[in-house]
């Protein structure tokens, strides 16, 4: 299993703003979007390119285009906070949604909605900002694999060792790109030190 921690100074600066409890919803939302640009750039840094001839205003030259289509899958609710940046960088990406709610008692994922584009030949970026127990991400990977996805990268803001272990066991070929691997989970399955409930902080529902 490959886990890439994006330690770019801007990523760590944005992550600090997200972690800070005094950051209000508007700045939290903006900062999540800014961090998502850096995470998505890393999650696509190994994409193959096709060469193609183009003409500059001065002369013919060789350029490149992306070698495969991209599908972005947002895991509800918090994944919605990363979608805008992803489709800004990847305007041709098709977007799928995976609605899963975690049972607050057991932290098990409970599915309530899925809608996916075709994805068999695509790089699939699963936007799951908080990789806590790994239940939701592992479930989302199962869903996209059942639709034919084989090239999957998870884009996470904060990850816990517990979630990474679950992914190692259930989806060892999935690459994880994250801004941090934190200490662990508390008794309510929140990541520590973490940033709290990402959905609540994005949407002001706390």
Give which of 115, 119, 141 is closest to 69, Cα–Cα.
119
Rounded least distance, CB 157 to ligand URA, Å:
9
Give contact residues for ligand URA (rule: CB under 6 A).
Answer: 78, 130, 132, 190-191, 194, 197-199
Indicate the residue among 190 and 203 with the shorter CB distance to ligand URA: 190
Indicate the residue among 96 and 194 with the shorter CB distance to ligand URA: 194
Residue 2 CA, chain-centre distance (Å), reads 14
Rounded least distance, CB 185 to ligand URA, Å:
8
Catalytic status, residue 102 = yes
Indicate the residue among 109 and 199 with the shorter CB distance to ligand URA: 199
Tokens of 21: 């409890």
Distance CA 128, CA 132 (A): 10
Distance CA 152, CA 65 (A): 20
From the list 19, 34, 94, 102, the catalytic residue is 102
From the list 106, 121, 188, 205, the catalytic residue is 106
Tokens 């895991």 belong to which residue? 75
Distance CA 49, CA 52 (A): 9
Rounded least distance, CB 132 to ligand URA, Å:
4
From the list 4, 19, 84, 200, the catalytic residue is 200
Tokens 């700045």 belong to which residue? 27
Provide the annotated active-site residues. Answer: 102, 106, 197, 200
């Amino acid at each position: 299993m490959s886990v890439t921690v994006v330690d770019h100074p801007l990523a760590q600066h944005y992550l600090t703003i997200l972690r800070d409890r005094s950051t209000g919803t508007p700045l939290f939302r903006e900062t999540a979007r800014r961090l998502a640009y850096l995470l998505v750039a890393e999650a696509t840094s190994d994409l193959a390119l096709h060469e193609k001839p183009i003409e500059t205003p001065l002369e013919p030259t060789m350029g490149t285009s992306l070698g495969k289509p991209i599908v972005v899958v947002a895991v509800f609710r918090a994944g919605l906070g990363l979608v805008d940046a992803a489709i800004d960088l990847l305007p041709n990406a098709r977007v799928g949604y995976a609605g899963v709610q975690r049972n607050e008692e057991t932290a098990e994922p409970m599915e309530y909605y899925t809608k996916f584009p075709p994805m068999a030949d695509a790089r699939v970026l699963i936007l799951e900002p908080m990789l806590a127990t790994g239940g939701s991400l592992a479930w989302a990977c199962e869903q996209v694999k059942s639709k034919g996805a084989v090239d999957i990268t998870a884009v996470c803001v904060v990850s816990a060792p517990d979630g990474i272990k679950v992914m190692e066991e259930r989806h060892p070929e999935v690459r994880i790109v994250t801004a941090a691997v934190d200490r662990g989970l508390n008794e309510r399955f929140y990541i520590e030190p973490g940033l709290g409930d990402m959905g609540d902080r994005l949407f002001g529902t706390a």
